A and B are shown apart, each in its own frame.
Chain A
Amino acid sequence: MTRTHENRLLEIEDLQLGFDGAQGLLPALRGVSVHLDRGELVALVGQSGSGKSVTGLTVLRLLGANARIAKGAIRFDGQDLLSFSERQMRGIRGGRIAMVFQNAKASLNPIRRVGDTLADIVLAHDTTGLSRKQALQKVVGLMAQIGIALPEERARAYPSELSGGMCQRIGIAAALASDPELIIADEPTSALDVTTQQLVMDTLTEAARARGVAVIFITHDLALASEYCDRAVVMNAGRIVEEGPADRVFTDPQHPYTRALLDALPYGKTDASELRPMTWTDPEDSAPGAEGPRS
């Protein structure tokens, strides 16, 4: 069983993963299965510690040395990424699969002009023998395509000279620079104001739609997921509790965890007294989190 249908781009199957710690193995993913078609926008949503970021990082095999994969498979375009050598992975990372991080300012090299950083990415994945000058031209064109005004000028800027929102859009251009098939965006707008957030999400999703790039959008913001994605996958404590069309999952949740999460959040409420702290715990979870008051 390799590909279940021809449009399938990514298939994560029963992934079980933990981290070695002082108290033994700490489970992080307890059997996660997610699939993604070409060009599909899928949101992974959940609270801190639910395993959504770990899932994204595992696809790129960017986890620390203490990560232990107990079981499962990750198939990208039919190939098992878990069997790839480190060298083979370098061809995938930042190439066929690109990443957008939460804090683009921190992920861009502070002492290089952003255009040069992006040209490096173009050159690293180029097979047509582009010169650096041609790579820079491609970068400026890319920045213009995603709606960045004055792209030549911006390409000559250092990250510290740009706003947070502009850096995040440069981060999206960086992700697109290698012509990827999949972009993993981990909380790309969490540090931004709502107006800038809208601009960055529009930029990301319009570029992905126009190029047929699939996106895994990792977020704790249920509303953002429902506004921009095709499908949403809700995670809790290393498991998937619910998935479905993004606009349906949060308006007509089926799982008690999703319902409890929505009850705790302000969406659709008219008075703060309607906010309900969560009392739902996973019945399969024999050791509920010791953290946090449940009074």
Chain B
Amino acid sequence: MTPLLDLRAITKRYPVPGGNSVTAVDAVDFHVMPGEILGIVGESGSGKTTLSRIAARLIPHDEGRITFDGEDITRISGAKFARHPKRRALQMVFQDPLASLNPRFRAREAIGDPVHRLGTAAERGRAAELVAEAARLAGLPERLMSAYPHQMSGGQRARVDIARAIVLRPKMILLDEPTSALDASLQAHVIRTLLDLRSELGLSFIFVSHDLNLVRLISDRLLVMHRGRVVEQGVAQAVFEAPQAEYTKTLIAAIPQVGRRRSV
């Protein structure tokens, strides 16, 4: 089976005052198979968000090749990719739906927006039907379809974001801290919804999070980043049970556990 998304030797540098640069992502290789959930973990500044944005072609990178769904998308500029046919197959859900949803769009319009921008003529013709189906899959009640983002709770906004991401039936969704603003119950709802979507639609996910307890549960494979490099990758359960890299060991030992006492 060929990977759905394949990144090779990706490097990204940011210029800093004085003519130097910092290497945010340093020669990183990874891939995601169809239907797979890849978790990316690491501390602030490790490059995990930069890497996921490069994978989605939201920001340009300096070196390396990106292949998505059988096509080399490296040469397509970020601006062009926004209108590219492959964009519909690669969608995103962000941490703060209040910031990522257009405040002037009702839920119905927010969910339907990708259909009008990227859909075929036939899809645009039945946009209302596609929107209703996406809302149903994301667990968004019909009565909220006319609500604006500020009229919804955090969990409801997260559902609009998810419905918007799945409306064109993508092959992959990239989620950057999708539940960190939600309380325990809503987080459980959203995670269950995402897993249902994977089984119903065969989606792949990249799940970027600093919540290692959660990543452990939902990822098939795991990528551990530290200072721009991948220090470890492997089957999620194996990495958690027997971490190889020193940094991964430190990270896992620091995860708070219910019922354990720190000796202080």
Residues of chain A touching chain B, judged by Cβ–Cβ distance below 8 Å, are 47-48, 164, 193-198, 201-202, 205-206, 209, 220-224, 226-228, 247, 250-251, 260-278, 291-293, 295
Mark the stretch among B7-15, B20-28, B100-108, B180-188 that contacts chain A: B180-188
Contact A292 B195 (CB under 8 A): no
Contact A277 B262 (CB under 8 A): no
Number of interface residues of B (CB under 8 A): 39
Contact A221 B256 (CB under 8 A): yes
Contact B188 A227 (CB under 8 A): no
Q: How far is the CA of A227 from the CA of B254 in the complex (A)?
A: 11
Closest 8 CB pairs of A and B: A223-B256, A278-B185, A193-B43, A251-B259, A266-B213, A275-B188, A194-B254, A264-B184
Contact A202 B262 (CB under 8 A): yes
Contact B210 A292 (CB under 8 A): no
- Pick the residue among A48, A197, A250 that contacts B258 (CB under 8 A): A250
**Is B264 in the interface zone, CB < 8 Å from A?**
yes
CB-CB under 8 A from B192, the residues of chain A are: 272-273, 275, 277
CB-CB under 8 A from A262, the residues of chain B are: 258
Query: Distance (Å) between the CB of A103 and the closest chain B CB?
Result: 14
Q: How far is the CA of A276 from the CA of B186 in the complex (A)?
A: 10
- Pick the residue among B195, B214, B254 that contacts A195 (CB under 8 A): B254
CB-CB under 8 A from B153, the residues of chain A are: 291-293
Interface string of B182-201 (1 = CB under 8 A from A): 01111111011001000000
Q: What residue of chain A has the Cβ atom nearest to residue B259's Cβ? A: A251
Q: What residue of chain A has the Cβ atom nearest to residue B37's Cβ? A: A272
Contact B155 A272 (CB under 8 A): no
Q: What residue of chain B has the Cβ atom nearest to residue A278's Cβ? A: B185
Q: What residue of chain B has the Cβ atom nearest to residue A263's Cβ? A: B188
Q: How far is the CA of A201 from the CA of B256 in the complex (A)?
A: 11
CB-CB under 8 A from B254, the residues of chain A are: 194-195, 197-198
**Is B82 in the interface zone, CB < 8 Å from A?**
no
Contact A292 B261 (CB under 8 A): no
CB-CB under 8 A from B212, the residues of chain A are: 194
Interface string of B233-264 (1 = CB under 8 A from A): 00000000000000000110011111111101
CB-CB under 8 A from A263, the residues of chain B are: 188
CB-CB under 8 A from A48, the residues of chain B are: 183
Task: Give the residues from 201 to 218 in chain B that come closer than 8 angstroms, CB to CB, to chain A.
Answer: 210-214, 216-218
Q: How far is the CA of A201 from the CA of B153 in the complex (A)?
A: 31
Q: What residue of chain B has the Cβ atom nearest to residue A191's Cβ? A: B44
CB-CB under 8 A from B184, the residues of chain A are: 47, 220, 261, 264-265, 278
Interface string of B31-50 (1 = CB under 8 A from A): 00000000000011000000
Given contacts A194-B43, A278-B184, A292-B186, 15 further A-B contacts (CB under 8 A): A194-B255, A202-B262, A209-B264, A223-B256, A223-B257, A247-B260, A250-B258, A262-B258, A263-B188, A268-B258, A272-B218, A273-B192, A273-B195, A291-B153, A292-B153
Q: What residue of chain B has the Cβ atom nearest to residue A290's Cβ? A: B153
Query: Distance (Å) between the CB of B199 and the closest chain A CB?
Result: 10
- Pick the residue among B140, B213, B251 that contacts A267 (CB under 8 A): B213
CB-CB under 8 A from A198, the residues of chain B are: 254, 262
Q: How far is the CA of A94 from the CA of B195 in the complex (A)?
A: 48
Query: Distance (Å) between the CB of B261 and the closest chain A CB?
Result: 6
Contact A226 B258 (CB under 8 A): yes
- Pick the residue among B43, B140, B141, B217 that contacts A266 (CB under 8 A): B217
Q: How far is the CA of A266 from the CA of B185 in the complex (A)?
A: 11
Contact B259 A226 (CB under 8 A): yes
Query: Distance (Å) between the CB of A150 and the closest chain B CB?
Result: 21
CB-CB under 8 A from A278, the residues of chain B are: 184-185, 188
